[in-house]
Amino acid sequence: MDIATIIGLLAGTALILSAILMSSDMQTFINYPSVLIVVGGSITSTLCSFPIKSVFGVAKVFKNCVLTKARDPGVIIAEMVKYAEVARRDGILALDNMTEEISDPFMVSGIQMAVDGTDPELIEAILMSDLDAIEARHSEGKALFETIGRFAPAFGMIGTLIGLVILLKNMEDPSTIGPAMAISLLTTLYGALVANVFALPMADKLARRSREEMLLKMIIVKGVMSIQSGDNPRIVEQKLKTFMPARLRASVEIEAAA
């Protein structure tokens, strides 16, 4: 579980609610037509921009963003070094019996192709093609939240304009102008909240998640290629550690030794 995302969402919401309650009551900031315009409008425009399957899958994307924790690159490197040691000592065919204990399907696919004696260039081409497909799926999820973040403020402004039109048409009683203006501005507030508290932060988090996963997949690709070519485990480790920042490389040696 990604604690930072949960804390960010809860803390951001709590800060806004606290600021409201310190100076007013909650009922003042609740207007259902405004919610309908912002939320409904954002959803309908997103439906126009994406396939319906992608829009209805936004809850799953959000769940994966919040609940899925990125794996440690050092752990992946240690695993690849272990498999390189087995291949070096017992032959690459010995890895065939170890695929059942590997939880990552991408890693299993690469090692299995290496065990089967697939041409190295073909192994790399297949793995990189799979990598491109994964990155495309990640990009679509990120674009979905970016679209929501782009449309929500726009519909907030539309709601405000609608409210102003109604206000200007009914100005017989000056005492109603202030409350009516406040209600019309709520849609702008709702649009800004949807975009900046939820949609755009989720898009940025998904982009980060994608970069982290692409790094792990590239480590696996290079590890499989090194194992297939029969590199010394120490060389495999040195190659894969180049994907990590220098300050974290020492921890890989500790994990590998453990």
DSSP string, 158-212: HHHHHHHHHHHH--SSGGGHHHHHHHHHHHHHHHHHIIIIIIHHHHHHHHHHHHH
Q: Is 1 in the same domain as 63?
A: no
Question: Three-class SS of residue 245?
Answer: coil
- What's the domain count of the chain? 2
CA distances from 66 to 57, 162, 217 (A): 15, 36, 20
Q: In terms of residue numbers, what domain contains 7?
A: 1-30
Q: Is 37 in the same domain as 25?
A: no
> CA 121, CA 109: separation in Å to the nearest integer?
15
Higher pLDDT, 139 or 177: 139
> CA 227, CA 98: separation in Å to the nearest integer?
14
Residue 88, in any domain of the structure = no
Q: Is 15 in the same domain as 140?
A: no
Nearest to 195 by CA among 141, 138, 154: 154
What pLDDT was estimated at residue 247? Answer: 64
**Given a cut of 70, is residue 252 above it in pLDDT?**
no
Residue 60, in any domain of the structure = yes
What pLDDT was estimated at residue 256? Answer: 46
What pLDDT was estimated at residue 107? Answer: 93
Q: Is 5 in the same domain as 44?
A: no
Cα angle value 22/26/28 (rounded, 5°): 105
> CA 207, CA 65: separation in Å to the nearest integer?
10
Tokens of 216: 């792990």
Q: Is 3 in the same domain as 68?
A: no
Question: Three-class SS of residue 114?
Answer: helix
Which region among 10-14, 116-120, 173-177, 206-210 has the lowest average model confidence (pLDDT)? 173-177
**Given a cut of 60, is residue 124 above it in pLDDT?**
yes
pLDDT band at residue 179 using 50, 70 and 90 as cut-offs: confident
> CA 137, CA 52: separation in Å to the nearest integer?
15
Q: Would you say 149 and 195 are in contact if contact means Cβ atoms under 8 Å apart?
A: yes
> Which value, in Å, is the radius of gyration of the alpha carbons in the chain?
26
Residue 6, in any domain of the structure = yes
Cα angle value 156/165/19 (rounded, 5°): 40
Q: Is 135 in the same domain as 161?
A: yes
Residue 116, in any domain of the structure = no
Transcribe 29-80 into DSSP letters. Answer: G--HHHHIIIIIHHHHHHHHHS-HHHHHTHHHHHHHHHHPPPPPHHHHHHHH
Q: What is the mean pLDDT of residues 85-95?
A: 91
**Given a cut of 70, is residue 254 above it in pLDDT?**
no
Tokens of 162: 């609608």
Q: What is the pTM of this model?
A: 0.82
Q: Is 66 in the same domain as 6?
A: no
Residue 80, in any domain of the structure = no
